[in-house]
Structure 1
Amino acid sequence: MIELDTTDRRLLRELVQDATQPASTLGRKLGLSQPATWRRIRRLYDSGVIKGQRLDLDHDRLGFGVTVFLGVKLATKGRVSIDVFERAVSAIPEVQTVEHILGLFDYRLRIVARDISDFERVLRRRIMMLPGVGDVEANVMLSEERRPGPIG
């Protein structure tokens, strides 16, 4: 684990808010030179603290107005069925995330769809046809608040 000082934590908070900020802007906010800011950012990448940058798309504006969290319980368990399921479900474009979890279900999927009937099509024709799928439970997202998580 890497040691983070107060400046590193402030830098991470700034990057969480807007990762497109130039190093010169970040440096001014933190009281650092641009090269010093770049060195800190590079160190955070090299140590694995920063894993990458992601594009945050507005699914509503792209025509995907429904987000569903789907719990999936596999009918059969074993390394082969898990690998086959993960590979197959990851190939479905509407499936945004695949989380292997502990609890009532084996997986939690985040699925985007144009509307409820589009979700039903994805569920019936794609998800339920996957190898090993047993029980499922759908939860439709009503709203979402982004919380970046603790930085320490």
Structure 2
Amino acid sequence: MLDDTDRRLLRHLLGDPTLSTGDLAEQTGVSAATVWRRLERLAEQGIIRAQEAVIDWRALGYGVEVSLRFTLDKTAPRAFDDFIAAARSVPEVLAIETFLGRVDLRLNVIARDMAHWQDIYRDRILTLPHISDIEALMLVSTLKNAEALPV
């Protein structure tokens, strides 16, 4: 699976995804060619899926984040498919997650302020199909948000 060099590369890459191959080589103590080959192999294996920008929505004026938990009316055969298709069309929905258990789905939604949130909730969320129950959890603060694995 992963050896110590792979783990070092991943740790440095997670710490700063903008590091060049040369910088990664210098920080991990291997040659640039080795870094390049290793990164290619990790990408081919699906371990590194992408390098992406992480946008701070608050810096763009979105001050409200709400997690919505939904239970769907599962008597409708296409309840999940219909709900997910409709939820994907709401631009303020950042994430759609499905679960096993009492809660079927969770949406993470952002809004500029409480007035904007009310508009989104009334006009877009409550009109989503097949909702049996809904619970809203307003984000107060994020204490830890690590996507890094302990490699």
Could you tell which deviates more after superposition, 97-106 or 71-80? 71-80
Q: 2: CA distance between counterparts of 1:97 and 1:77? A: 25
User: Where does 1:73-112 land on structure 2 (aligned, <5 Å)?
Assistant: 73-77=71-75, 80-112=78-110
1:71-95 C-alpha deviation (Å, 9 max, x unpaired): 0111235552211111110111100
Alignment match, 2:114: 116
Q: 2: CA distance between counterparts of 1:114 and 1:77? A: 35
User: Where does 1:22-33 land on structure 2 (aligned, <5 Å)?
Assistant: 22-33=20-31
Q: 2: CA distance between counterparts of 1:70 and 1:116? A: 15
Offset, 1:116:
1.9
Offset, 1:18:
1.6
The count of corresponding residues between Structure 1 and Structure 2 is: 150
Q: 2: CA distance between counterparts of 1:46 and 1:151? A: 21
Q: 2: CA distance between counterparts of 1:117 and 1:77? A: 34
| TM-score, length of structure 1 as denominator length | 0.91
Alignment match, 1:69: 67
- Gaps in structure 1 of 5+ consecutive residues: none
Offset, 1:49:
0.7
| TM-score, length of structure 2 as denominator length | 0.92
Q: 2: CA distance between counterparts of 1:41 and 1:79? A: 44
Identity among equivalent pairs (%): 37
How has the CA–CA distance of structure 1 residues 103 and 116 changed in structure 2, closer, same or farther, with 3 Å as cutoff? farther
CA contact (8 A) 2:96 2:108 kept: yes
- Gaps in structure 2 of 5+ consecutive residues: none
